[in-house]
Structure 1
Amino acid sequence: MKLKYIALLISALFFSMSNAQEDITSVDTLSKKGAVSELKYIKQSGFANASSKIFSADRRFTISGFGEVNYVNYDSPVANKSDKEIEQYYSNLYRGGFYFGYRFSDKFIAMSEVQMEYLHDGTREGHFEANLEISFDYLLHKNFNIRVGNYPLNLGWVNVNEEPIAFYTVNRPEVERTIIPTQWLEQGVLFYGQVVGETEYQFGITKGLRGADFTSGTWIRNGRYTDWTEWPPTVAFNGKLAYGHEDRTMLALAGYYGDASGAYRFEEGDFAGERLNSNLGLMTITAAHNIGDFTLFGLYSKGWLSGTEQIFQINNEIVGAETVGYYLEGRYDIMPFVKPGSTWKLPLFVRYESMNTHQKIDDNLKPLIGEEGVTADLKDLEILSVGLNVRPKKNWTFKANYQFRNNRYADAPKEGNQFELGVGFIF
């Protein structure tokens, strides 16, 4: 019944988007008024395709955005569901983002995003979330620019390239949902620019994280700040050095280091009167190489977290002191064999992914695993994803994939395989 429902929903979206393509005249009319401008797929450093629109538009005001609908079917019940967050077991996802860009001058540009998502598990449990992003760029020179406000950290790939055409599985890679808690926005200042050819750099200062909200199953994810109006109690630093473009050859190194205490102080217990002493380090390496219709894409992430024994005293969660995750994905567009000369793309892909949220556990916490009242959602996942995309246009895609999943921790519950369907678009 659920498969029938999602098929009908995707068909409806397909029909509506097809009609939208035909209604190009009305869009052109708006464009002449300065409200909407053509999406040129020219990325601004730190932003994805649709969110970069204002930077290459010839209009003062632009509107752009993205949308996606996903369905997940599990071949067995989700284990320890009561200890998990809905992010880890939802059946349906509806996500949309709207970007509003305004060009005060050729050098001063404002960009804002309103993003909303609704998750539910196929029964009565659901979760709605809405976030607001506002940033201002001062474009001094191609070698040096300044961004102030709420912006996505340049860690990994999907955190910036969150739009559904930028990744090929229905859901974001597990490494980039957990270890890199996509989507991760912070408030601060960013300095960026190009140095030689296609080489770019970034250096940013932002708020730190709230270690008291970290959980065993999703590591640092719940410690992100979502209130962009809140004054930062702690500080963190991030940086990136990248070369090339994902459509040709790309190599990027990014890092983060900061105070994860959130200025939390213990009122009682073993650490009464003390301040939570927790720091987070995270580094990622992303690479891509294209040969004709074949693309090889990979990512590696490594994280370090101190103060996990103190965090346990706050919430009884055994959080990993070290994490590691990586994936390697091969894609091949078979449309030239199916229908030579077609403008459609039909990439098949295979991705191997490995993620360990507890590569290292504090020695004082290991004996507590399995005790009543202690949350230890240990993950040493091995995931093989196989699937395809149907891409009639560059700005929209239909996705389907199957995941073979295995948790290599000896005492962990069986990790069920997953079948996923989705549709996504940008405008």
Structure 2
Amino acid sequence: MHKLPRPASSIRRKVSFDLDNLTDDSDIEDYRDRNKPDWTIRGAISALPPRKRRNYGVLTVLIFVFLYWASHRPQPPKGLSPYLNYDAIDWSRYAYTQYVTSDEYLCNSVMVFEALHRLGSRADKILFYPQEWDTVISGPNDRTSQLLLEARNKYNVQLEPIEVNSLQDMPGGVSTWDSSITKLWAFRETTYRRILQIDSDVMVLQNLDELFFLPSAPVAMPRAYWDYSNDHKLTSLLVLLEPSYVEYRSMMDRVEAVTAGQLGKEEYDGHPLYDMELLNDRYAGSALVLPHRQYGLVTGEFRRKDHRDFLGNDHETWNPDTVLKQAKLVHFSDWPLPKPWVMWPQKLLAEIIPRCDNNPGTSQESGCRDREVWKQLYEDFRLKRKNVCMLLSYPAPEWPPKEKNTSNQPPAPKDDKPVAEKPEQVQASE
């Protein structure tokens, strides 16, 4: 028996009824609501067995503790090799040293130690100073004792009084460079594996700790690139050395004749006898040469127009900002301009200041970035001197300097040779 087909109107009514039920969102019994999972974090945790809840809780606490420790742990200074375990190094085997022979230079050394401290170095810091000084503050104007104490208490510097070595072999011929051989005192610190001796007339720009882990060598020094005509001499503005009392005595024996007054300081193998010459005589053929771009930049380079000696080639383009960014330190050397702790004689400054590349000295001058960088370096040094040492710069010396009155001095023997000054070392304030 066959069923009769339903009328079309009946089928439409049925479909319409079903569709209305499917699309009625107000119906609490809608199938979509009935099948929607009711999941919350609290519900998920509650559904776990007590033992699992405890384990997950402990794990969460450990994760938060680790994240907090990782974000607050001491970080290695920028520039240190990523292949070194900074925390596992025995930093008591390495040290930075400074030497001071006069009040004028004490603040400079404190500024160097401040920079090393601020940049995160963990190596020891040692200051050699004249044994006649003391750390007893005798009054508000006793800045020498105050700075010694500041170096010790604020920057963890070890103070070591010493007998200052000097080449004072002739009356009236004494200069600050006669005591430069005091720098060699660092060779006596044999409890250290390596020592980094830095001149005080510098501004440290980046961390230098990576130098302690270079391949072994008696000394490591940058080239005096500004004087390549002189057999590629090494400069002693930065010396990485391996302490050895034997080495110290070997070099000091060479100057005994000078200190005893039997030999003029200009008469040793035909050249001046200073720390730089002693180190070159002994290590020129065995020293590890440091790249001068990072460790030997001098401010005088910003006054030059020919930078091939510094760049080492003819194809690179000089960029003062890039050069300064690469440098780990900069050495102030613009003879005869005074060092940065002495104000500039304006007449001399007009002769020394870097020239612009285009139309220098006119209202249309341009390309003066060298001048801007050069002036900023001096301004930064003076501001740092004021902030660290609470000292202002010394007044500018008279320029041109007056000739010395030698009428009360005995005439020099006829066979005496004229004293040749070292342009990169002599200060205009002397």
TM bracket, shorter-chain basis: under 0.3
* TM-score, with length taken from structure 1: 0.22
Quick check: which one's strand share is greater? 1
* TM-score, with length taken from structure 2: 0.22
Quick check: which one's helix share is greater? 2
